[in-house]
Amino acid sequence: MEATTAAQNLILRWDIVATNENLFDGEHRAEAERYLRAVKDIRQSESSSTTSVGIFLEMAMNRLKAEFRKILVTRLDEVDSDFLESSLSSISLSSSVNGLGDSFSVPDPGISVRNSFDDDVDDEEEEDIYRIFEKELATLDVVDDLRSIAKKMIASDHSQECCQVYCDARKDSIHNCLQLLGITKFDLDEILHKPWETVVVMIPQWIHAFKVCLRVFSSEKRLCDLIFDGLDCDRGSNSMSLSEQSFAETAKGPCYQLLRFAEAISTVEKSSEKLFKIIHIYQALRSVLPDVETIFCGPYCSSINSQVSEILSQLKEIIREIFSEFANDIQRYSENLIPGGTVHPITQYVMNYINLISEYKIVLSDIIISAPSMNDDASSNLEVNLDDDDGERSPVAVHLVRIVALLVAKLDSTSDLYKDPGLKQIFITNNIHYVVKKVKATPVLLEMIGRNYIRRLTGRYRSAATNYHRATWVGVLNCLRDEGIRTKSSTFSSGISKTTLRERFKSFNAAFEESHKTQASWIVPDDGLKEELKIMISERLLPAYLSFFGRYHQFIENGRNSHLYIKYTVDTLEKAIQDFFGGGSSSNSTHSLSHGVTQRRGKFFNLGITRSF
């Protein structure tokens, strides 16, 4: 009885109404221990069922709740900006990618995305990463105080009040963390109605925040375990542990707040330029899925795991749809003529796009699990043989081959817009050469597309280059034929018809000048290809001209106005060929050609007949 009276007096002395002092502030350590014993004594007293004892217990619970809240607010080591910054710098994050812009706009040729999420990280490594970034929020003495208070409150049937105090205090801490990370409450409709350019900027920030918050949630879970684990053994085998309940009620709200952004991304309107950012979100969630399952284990947190799994499924589906729709975008694209026959913007866009796709080969192999049909109406006319020697292709690789084939078909139909048959072939040469070069520059893409298919495309652009020569230079070379120049008539002692010869030289001059004026305005952007085409011209034109001149120049040179017929040396022709495919205006190319002829007039006979080619 005396012990009960002493306990009641101690509780009265520390009544929350009577004093603002704190028992657990360090100055009253011995008193705090006596207070906890007093609570136990009253609860176990013979008269514990009386009204007065109930009043004293309620007073004690109010004091303990206040002490519990005070410790949580003032004595824990909060998650601060330093911890967040160190976590950000240590977490492997996806590198950013510039938006590809509107469909079929020309992307930055230097655009590149690297997959920085290691697909080979095993569960053990994930666990190590998870542990490294936990933060010890409380020292041992603080944990002891919190646990001692919680134990007394739970024993006095005030476990829910204890849990509520804990959750209220820790929720504020987590929301403060989100604010430090720049994360506000996401409204689904608001995100869906934002311009994509705005959302793109938010995605890396969200990935950073989500990964860091997992470390925060892990730290909170550890704190819950330290305080509550083992204190609720009398709650029944089917009941949820107080530790699990406290953590779930603390973390679920902020976690749902974070996941709402990813959920919004999984329902955005589909378009090709969104693919890679959506993959970033998917990778971010997938890479931390083991952490999510570890942190949010238990039945009360199962809804978090279910939501993450559902979002991943939705992201997979939208990635599949965008991936398949990209081929349809190519088919729907309206052909438009590009001046100069240069590489078409659609070629640049598609090849940069599939080059990026190849960098996500591993993750896409898990998402794209079925190959497109090559027997549908869109594919029936494509020159694709998937049974060649390139081996069995993955579904992603088959998609890429089909995309390239659709692109080539689109280029063929676009080339028909060119009225000049030579320019049409230059357009085909430029664009298919660009496709081949892009594929060869990326080993992974070359492996996926297949070397045999690329050899066929190489043959295609070389064939187009040959067709260009036939369309543009056969007529010029025809001016240098011998037919009709030699005659058996006695009128010409030399057996040479000078009239015909003059006409041949004049025809050659006119034909070459027209070719120079026209082809100097054509564009071949690749320096290597440009040089190949110039060499092809030189190897056919210069020897033919040199041979023709060697046989007949003496019949013109001594006549009047010979310069009107013999206007070029091999050197001037060779220099003029260097003007080809540079995209210059016709007036500039004409000026360049006439300037070269004027400079070299009178020097024709230093031609160097013995020059080898």
Q: How confident is the model at residue 101 (pLDDT cuts 50, 70, 90)?
A: very low
Highest mean pLDDT among 32-41, 249-258, 532-541: 532-541
- Evaluate whether residue 546 is within a structural domain: yes
Highest mean pLDDT among 189-193, 238-242, 585-589: 189-193
Residues 292 and 378 in one domain: no
**pLDDT for position 600:** 42
User: pLDDT for 141-177, tens place per residue?
Assistant: 889 999 999 999 998 889 999 999 999 999 988 888 8
- Evaluate whether residue 409 is within a structural domain: yes
Residues 464 and 484 in one domain: no
Q: What mean pLDDT do residues 98-115 have? A: 36
* Interior angle at CA 432, CA 323 and CA 101, nearest 5: 40
- Evaluate whether residue 56 is within a structural domain: no
Q: How many CB atoms lie within 10 A of CB 270?
A: 16
- Evaluate whether residue 115 is within a structural domain: yes
Residues 357 and 306 in one domain: no
| Continuous H helices in 266-301 | 275-287, 289-295
Domain boundary pick from 469, 494, 519:
469
Residues 255 and 310 in one domain: yes
User: pLDDT for 19-72, tens place per residue?
Assistant: 677 888 767 778 888 888 888 888 877 555 566 777 888 888 988 999 899 999
Locus of tokens 């070629």: 347
Residues 310 and 348 in one domain: no
131 has pLDDT over 90: no
- Evaluate whether residue 138 is within a structural domain: yes
- Evaluate whether residue 571 is within a structural domain: yes
- Evaluate whether residue 5 is within a structural domain: no
Residues 288 and 432 in one domain: no
- Evaluate whether residue 214 is within a structural domain: yes
Residues 396 and 259 in one domain: no
Q: Report the CATH number at residue 485.
A: 1.20.1280
Q: How confident is the model at residue 381 (pLDDT cuts 50, 70, 90)?
A: low
Q: Which residue has the higher pLDDT, 40 or 101?
A: 40
Average pLDDT of the chain to the nearest whole number: 81
Residues 338 and 219 in one domain: no
Residues 354 and 434 in one domain: yes
- Answer yes or no: are the C-beta atoms of 259 and 253 closer than 8 Å: no
As for how many domains the chain has, the answer is: 3
Q: How many CB atoms lie within 10 A of CB 239?
A: 11
Q: Would you call 208 helix, strand, or coil by DSSP?
A: helix
Residues 401 and 537 in one domain: no
Q: Rounded to whole angstroms, how far apart are CA atoms 28 and 33?
A: 9
The neighbouring-strand residues paired with 316 are none
User: pLDDT for 453-508, tens place per residue?
Assistant: 999 999 999 999 999 999 999 999 999 998 888 876 545 446 788 889 999 999 99
Domain boundary pick from 444, 469, 494:
469
- Answer yes or no: are the C-beta atoms of 280 and 94 closer than 8 Å: yes
Sign of CA dihedral 185, 190, 192, 198: negative
364 has pLDDT over 80: yes
91 has pLDDT over 50: no
Highest mean pLDDT among 43-57, 109-123, 386-400: 386-400
Q: Which residue has the higher pLDDT, 190 or 493?
A: 190
Residues 182 and 317 in one domain: yes
87 has pLDDT over 80: no
Lowest mean pLDDT among 116-130, 297-311, 350-364: 116-130
Residue 50 has phi, psi (to 5 degrees) of: -75, 160
94 has pLDDT over 50: no
Highest mean pLDDT among 117-126, 208-217, 256-265, 519-528: 519-528
Residues 105 and 172 in one domain: yes
129 has pLDDT over 60: no
The token pair at 497 is: 């018809």
**pLDDT for position 335:** 87
**pLDDT for position 610:** 28
Q: Rounded to whole angstroms, how far apart are CA atoms 541 and 320?
A: 53
- What is the rounded (10 degree) CA torsion for 511, 516, 519, 523? 170
- Answer yes or no: are the C-beta atoms of 579 and 592 closer than 8 Å: yes
313 has pLDDT over 90: yes
Q: Rounded to whole angstroms, how far apart are CA atoms 329 and 276?
A: 17
> DSSP letters along 28-63, please?
THHHHHHHHHHHHHHHHSTTTTSHHHHHHHHHHHHH
Domain boundary pick from 272, 294, 322:
322
Q: What mean pLDDT do residues 372-394 have? A: 62
Structural domain boundaries, residue 540: 479-606
The distance of Cα 308 from the centroid of its chain, to the nearest Å, equals 21
